[in-house]
Chains A and B, each alone.
Chain A
Amino acid sequence: MTDTKPVAVVSQNNTLGIISLVAGIIGVILFVCCSYISVVLGIVALICGILAYQQKQQFALAGIILGAISIVLGIIFVIVGQVFIRELLPVIQREIRMMRF
């Protein structure tokens, strides 16, 4: 089988890079509310980003960085979040209510 090279320059396929970027953005946005989803999306963004980086696609590095951030934040908030809701949040809300502006 012979490879025929296309005459015109084919526009680069950036699908993996954009998947990685979008998953990373959603993961970083969602870490406050649902950290589990954020961890999963971060893993998706990291894997897609690495695959895209090997093919020199656009947005690959951004996706890798955002994926790593959302994995780290997600794991921290999975561990800390429920304790934060139970212990710290009532205190903070009470303090805010007591404040005089």
Chain B
Amino acid sequence: MNLPVKPVKRWAEWILLLFTLVTIVLVYFYVASPAFRDMVQPHQCLFSEATGLLCPACGGTRAIIHLLDGQLILALKSNLLAVLILPIIAYGTFTASRLVFDRNFGPSDIKIAPFWLWSLLAALIIFWIIRNLPYFSFLGPL
């Protein structure tokens, strides 16, 4: 589909650049300095505190911390969904940067089958229910 080419928004470029820089600096500080590592505390979950059940993101911070330490198995045990969703986030960031920088790539060129988008929502809800069942307790954080 050939839409009239819009001028690239400068502020979008700056936001993307800032996002990338902040991510790189945070990961560098996390790997390099132990003091910064101690500052990262798991966020207290309101849902989990109130009901005693697990929410789909419980253990997400621990999963990312284990990933940064290079322990994939521990990360997968902490939160399966948070690790499996990372490639999707990477693809989303890639598409967003393509939208900003590639002049021949417009919003109408993004094509994903609706089935996969709805199954993402379904996976989240099923994961939420299943990890609270006793038989599937291995999905919960350690």
Contact = CB atoms under 8 A, between A and B. Distances in A.
Interface of A: 1, 3, 13-16, 18-19, 22, 25-26, 29-30, 32-34, 36-37, 44, 51-52, 54-55, 77, 81-82, 84-85, 89
Interface string B115-137: 00110110011000000000000
Residue of B107, B111, B121 most packed against chain A (CB within 10 A): B107
Looking at chain B's contact residues, is the secondary structure mostly helix, strand, loop, or mixed?
helix
Interface of B: 2, 43-50, 55-58, 60, 92, 107-108, 110-112, 114, 117-118, 120-121, 124-125
A43 to B, nearest CB: 10
Contact of A37 (B57, B111, B120): B57
B74 to A, nearest CB: 20
B55 A32 contact: yes
| List of 7 A-B pairs having minimum Cβ-Cβ separation, nearest first | A33-B55, A33-B47, A34-B57, A51-B107, A32-B47, A33-B45, A18-B117
Contact of A55 (B48, B55, B108): B108
A44 B19 CA distance: 14
Nearest to B47: A33
B58 A33 contact: yes
B44 A85 contact: yes
A71 to B, nearest CB: 16
Contact of A13 (B49, B55, B58, B108): B108
A65 to B, nearest CB: 17
A15 B43 contact: no
A54 B107 CA distance: 10
Contacts of A81: 44, 46
A20 to B, nearest CB: 10
7 contacts: A18-B114, A32-B46, A33-B47, A33-B55, A37-B57, A81-B44, A84-B46
Contacts of A13: 108, 111
A56 to B, nearest CB: 11
A36 B43 contact: yes
